[in-house]
Amino acid sequence: MYNSSICSFMFSTNILQPRMVIARLSCTLKTHQNVRIGHCTKVPRNVNMEKLQHGYLFPEFVHGLSTATGYKGYGPEQGEKALRKAISVTFYKDLGIKPSEVFVSDGAQCDITRLQLLMGPNLKIAVQDPSFPAYIDSSVIIGQAGKFVDKAGKYKNIEYMTCGPQSDFFPDLPTISRTELIFFNSPNNPTGHAATRKQLEQLVDFAKVNGSIIIFDSAYSAYITDDSPKSIYEIPGAREVAIEVSSFSKFAGFTGVRLGWTVVPEELLYSNGFPVVHDFNRIMCTCFNGASNIAQAGGLACLSPEGLRAMQTLVDYYMENARILVDALTSLGLTVYGGKNAPYVWVHFPGSKSWNVFAEILEKTHIITVPGSGFGPGGEEYIRISAFGQRDSIIEASKRLKYLIYQEQN
Amino acid sequence: MYNSSICSFMFSTNILQPRMVIARLSCTLKTHQNVRIGHCTKVPRNVNMEKLQHGYLFPEFVHGLSTATGYKGYGPEQGEKALRKAISVTFYKDLGIKPSEVFVSDGAQCDITRLQLLMGPNLKIAVQDPSFPAYIDSSVIIGQAGKFVDKAGKYKNIEYMTCGPQSDFFPDLPTISRTELIFFNSPNNPTGHAATRKQLEQLVDFAKVNGSIIIFDSAYSAYITDDSPKSIYEIPGAREVAIEVSSFSKFAGFTGVRLGWTVVPEELLYSNGFPVVHDFNRIMCTCFNGASNIAQAGGLACLSPEGLRAMQTLVDYYMENARILVDALTSLGLTVYGGKNAPYVWVHFPGSKSWNVFAEILEKTHIITVPGSGFGPGGEEYIRISAFGQRDSIIEASKRLKYLIYQEQN
């Protein structure tokens, strides 16, 4: 099976064929001299992926026609070559990410499910608590989770990593049990916290020691204003333990256009030494058929010098919105997080239920917030306020919130 | 679990809430007086879907804000309302398909995987042999299939329904064992055969008796020139046993634009009486995020009177290509199928291996065909020729094929 997979791999596409041979040796012989590809995670390859015969028919025979070397054998499922290159140059400059490691998609949420499909049901995930719901829900759908325990507000067999202010929104790693996958979102939706370099170094070490794979969601990285890493690959060793998922939605106002990408480095290996990138490529060819060519053309335009300036202007606009909201809420003595490296403001209402705060704000100010508990039990007592809006709406919302909270306090 | 699912269902979206209650009764009480919703398939609900708590956060709380009745609670994940309505009116006129039963997607291939995700690993599928590879490959990835048996060229635990000329490209149903899912593609890729009304009536009866769900792929229905059904819902009773997947790619030259749809009728019920449409809606909200809004606008334009005329012109153009190819090949005494209700021509080379025929044609004429065995063991000895091309290329290809085959014969 393993060998036939190798063959089909080399036939269906020739990416990292030579590296793979080395990778197999380095894992088979358990030599770790080659730092770039010497590390095998302890994540077993999905047995369902091992069963799959050959490459997906169409890219496979098209490759059979290709006399060129390099990545000519790729079908369009992985994205237009020009866009893959532009993403690698724009977002991963000096981080050594090759265009062949970038897979253009119809968005981060869809890629999260495809990554769960890739990994299969027989493993365990860890998530930040609170976190974006798609990580947990897709895990339940694929069959990784146990029953939901109402009292705890958690599923069994999912590791909830509490990320509250008491630990600078980073998990207390020594208390976290080992899982095959670790979903980590930075800047975090909903808390707005961007993990520091030191925190991410700890996370990468933790994954390496445990043989885990980090699925790093950097969809909001463009909003980072301090020196927090914008990509997990800024951390040494991350190429051997991390997949990165990102999106144009929040950078370029592409919400609804559906364009994102996922990076799977060549050095990321299953416990048997088989490169994860090969199976992910197979998933993209079989279960996906490429992002809309129109959306991809738009994405390419965004990465032109003019497009990048426009994106920065958009980001600055929303971050000014965030500043306005934070100022308004802090001026009332509320404890407010986020809004500095993310367009989300995370407001604490000690002793209150998120849904009650949400309902009261909605009823009395007609402002839509998101109840924090919707992001996991760790979000209870909080609400998330989004800075994605027109300036005048933000100013009006700030006024209404000030008035409401002032009334409550007096 | 069941009740909480119902609640979350009614909370997250109120589609078919009243029907569902009736459906539960009709199944619970095992009364089959109500023909429309009295039938329960024998397909158990995916236990992973049963585990899922509530609706997906965002559509759910947005619905909480909605004071309107009807489908206002829907997020955009299911597609723009105007497009869902246009699809139901254009393709399902008089077939009773409601806009709420139409889910706009980024294409049929992606929907096939989402349907596998919906159904889960613990069931068995049947496929036409030969058939489009995505059905089998997605089944293997989700974990429904057994090992691949090289000698047979088949996976264990998948029912291959031989569909060759000896049985008018329709399975010999009495010899087919019962499966939970039946993938059926008509007009078929690669054979080009469109199932007759009588054949589809047999298929629907077969599914109903077995408690199976048909996943009917009608991506090429616009190419049907005779009175073969263009939708499975033309067959009485199909609403209780069939899901239909379709696409704009082949109707409108949208290949790469990524736009399709899936129809899940309200009357389609799991063995416990729970409506499949609810879980599919949940999958679309959690694992997908809507088709590109640009592609959807294009799809809506295609369904205007002008757009429909343009689509028909395109279809006629490719069908004339098919006629040219069929004439050229038959004039040489070859046995040719398809090309009448589909843009694919299916050519028989008795005693030859598909890949050898493919290679010889490629080498000697530089024409790209597809080896039939790539569509399953039933495709051996055949090649598929596509009529999707410019007229002059088709004429040139016909000339070269004539010359090659003439040489071979003399």
Instruction: Single out the residue in B287, B303, B319 at which a domain terminates.
Output: B303
Mean pLDDT for A155-170 is 97
**pLDDT at B18 > cutoff 50:** no
Q: A133 or B70: which carries more pLDDT confidence?
A: A133
Tell me how long chain A is: 410
Within this chain, do residues B214 and B254 fall inside the same structural domain, yes or no?
yes
Look at residue B58 in the predicted model and tell me its pLDDT. 66
Note whether residue A33 is domain-resident. Answer: no
**pLDDT at A33 > cutoff 80:** no
Note whether residue A40 is domain-resident. Answer: no
Look at residue A311 in the predicted model and tell me its pLDDT. 94
Is the peptide bond prior to A76 cis by the omega test (within 30 degrees of 0)? no
Instruction: Tally the C-alpha atoms within 13 A of residue B212's C-alpha that lie toward its C-beta.
Output: 24
Instruction: Tally the C-alpha atoms within 13 A of residue B1's C-alpha that lie toward its C-beta.
Output: 13
Residue type, A165: P
The torsion of the CA quartet B392, B395, B399, B404, rounded to 10 degrees, works out to: 90
What share of chain A in percent tops pLDDT 70? 86
Note whether residue B23 is domain-resident. Answer: no
Within this chain, do residues B221 and B292 fall inside the same structural domain, yes or no?
yes
Within this chain, do residues B331 and B232 fall inside the same structural domain, yes or no?
no
Please tell me the distance from the alpha carbon of residue A37 to that of residue A354, in angstroms, as a whole number: 46
Q: A108 or B32: which carries more pLDDT confidence?
A: A108
Please tell me the distance from the alpha carbon of residue B154 to that of residue B136, in angstroms, as a whole number: 10
Instruction: Single out the residue in B303, B327, B351 at which a domain terminates.
Output: B303
Residue of B nearest to A369 (CA): B61
Mean pLDDT for B304-311 is 95
Note whether residue B358 is domain-resident. Answer: yes
Within this chain, do residues A174 and A228 fall inside the same structural domain, yes or no?
yes
Q: Tens of pLDDT along B332-365?
A: 999 999 999 999 999 999 999 999 999 999 999 9
Element (H, E) at A348: strand A344-348
| 3-state secondary structure at position A165 | helix
Within this chain, do residues B222 and B299 fall inside the same structural domain, yes or no?
yes
- What is the count of residue pairs from A and B with beta carbons less than 8 Å apart? 156
Q: What's the whole-number average pLDDT of chain A?
A: 86
Q: Which residues of B touch A109 (CB under 8 A)?
A: 287-289
Q: B168 or A3: which carries more pLDDT confidence?
A: B168
What is the pTM (predicted TM-score) of this model?
0.86
Look at A258 and B368 and tell me if their CB atoms are within 8 Å. Answer: no
Question: Least CB-CB distance to B107: which of A289, A294, A298?
Answer: A289
Within this chain, do residues A148 and A97 fall inside the same structural domain, yes or no?
yes
CB count within 10 Å of CB B161 equals 24
Element (H, E) at B213: strand B213-217
Look at A51 and B113 and tell me if their CB atoms are within 8 Å. Answer: no
Q: Which residues of A touch B109 (CB under 8 A)?
A: 287-289
Look at residue A59 in the predicted model and tell me its pLDDT. 65
Q: Compute CA A89 distance to the chain's CA centroid, rounded to the nearest angstrom.
A: 19
Residue of B nearest to A79 (CA): B256
Look at residue A60 in the predicted model and tell me its pLDDT. 58
Short-list A135, A175, A187, CA closest to A337: A187
Instruction: Read off the pLDDT band of B186 (50, 70, 90).
Output: very high
Q: Please give the tally of structural domains in chain B.
A: 2
Please tell me the distance from the alpha carbon of residue B203 to that of residue B192, in angstroms, as a whole number: 18
Look at B48 and A137 and tell me if their CB atoms are within 8 Å. Answer: no
Question: Least CB-CB distance to A56: which of B48, B52, B137?
Answer: B137
Note whether residue B52 is domain-resident. Answer: no
Residues 6+ apart with CB under 8 A from A94: none
Mean pLDDT for A283-306 is 92
Residue type, A297: A
Encoding tokens for residue A47?
């047995």
Look at residue B72 in the predicted model and tell me its pLDDT. 34
Looking at residue B15, the DSSP 8-state letter turns out to be: T
Question: Least CB-CB distance to B289: which of A110, A120, A283?
Answer: A110
Note the helical H segments in A211-349: 249-252, 276-287, 293-302, 305-330
Within this chain, do residues B224 and B367 fall inside the same structural domain, yes or no?
no
Tell me how long chain B is: 410
Q: Tens of pLDDT along A238-260?
A: 999 999 999 998 888 788 889 99
Residues 6+ apart with CB under 8 A from B177: B159
Question: Least CB-CB distance to B137: which of A286, A298, A368?
Answer: A286
Look at residue B57 in the predicted model and tell me its pLDDT. 72
Note whether residue B48 is domain-resident. Answer: no
Q: What's the whole-number average pLDDT of chain B?
A: 86
- Radius of gyration of the CA atoms of chain B, in A: 22
Q: Which residues of A touch B61 (CB under 8 A)?
A: 358, 370-371, 374
Within this chain, do residues B225 and B315 fall inside the same structural domain, yes or no?
no
Within this chain, do residues A337 and A364 fall inside the same structural domain, yes or no?
yes
The CATH number covering residue A99 comes to: 3.40.640.10
Note whether residue B98 is domain-resident. Answer: yes
**pLDDT at A7 > cutoff 50:** no
Instruction: Single out the residue in B266, B288, B303 at which a domain terminates.
Output: B303
Instruction: Read off the pLDDT band of A28 (50, 70, 90).
Output: very low
Note whether residue A395 is domain-resident. Answer: yes
The CATH number covering residue A383 comes to: 3.90.1150.10
Instruction: Read off the pLDDT band of B254 (50, 70, 90).
Output: confident
The predicted complex's ipTM stands at 0.85
Q: Which residues of A touch B141 (CB under 8 A)?
A: 48-49, 52, 117, 283, 286-287
Question: Least CB-CB distance to A290: which of B258, B290, B298?
Answer: B258
Check if the beta carbon of residue B143 is closer than 8 Å to that of residue A120: yes
Look at residue B256 in the predicted model and tell me its pLDDT. 84
**pLDDT at A190 > cutoff 60:** yes
Within this chain, do residues B284 and B317 fall inside the same structural domain, yes or no?
no
Residues 6+ apart with CB under 8 A from B62: B73, B75
Residue of A nearest to B133 (CA): A57
Please tell me the distance from the alpha carbon of residue B40 to that of residue B33, in angstroms, as a whole number: 13
Within this chain, do residues A120 and A260 fall inside the same structural domain, yes or no?
yes
Residue A171, strand partner residues: none
Please tell me the distance from the alpha carbon of residue B124 to that of residue B157, in angstroms, as a whole number: 6
**For chain A, counts of helices (H) and of strands (E):** 14, 13
Instruction: Read off the pLDDT band of A70 (50, 70, 90).
Output: very low
**pLDDT at A226 > cutoff 50:** yes
Look at residue A61 in the predicted model and tell me its pLDDT. 53
Supply the DSSP string of B248-262, one letter for each residue: STTTTT-TTT--EEE
Residue of A nearest to B51 (CA): A147
Q: B58 or A314: which carries more pLDDT confidence?
A: A314
Encoding tokens for residue B284?
């679309």
**pLDDT at A215 > cutoff 80:** yes
Look at residue B66 in the predicted model and tell me its pLDDT. 40
Q: Give the structural domain span for B320.
A: 308-409
Could you tell me the end-to-end alpha-carbon distance of chain A, in angstroms, rounded to an integer? Answer: 71
Instruction: Read off the pLDDT band of A92 (50, 70, 90).
Output: very high
Residues 6+ apart with CB under 8 A from A154: A148, A160, A376, A377
Within this chain, do residues B294 and B328 fall inside the same structural domain, yes or no?
no
Q: Nearest 5°: CA angle at A319, between A318 and A322? A: 90
Supply the DSSP string of B324-346, one letter for each residue: HHHHHHHTTT-EEEESSSSSEEE
**pLDDT at A38 > cutoff 80:** no
What share of chain B in percent tops pLDDT 90? 76
Q: Tens of pLDDT along A348-406?
A: 999 999 999 999 999 999 999 999 999 999 999 999 999 999 999 999 999 999 999 88
The nearest CA of chain B is from the CA of A206 a distance in Å of: 28
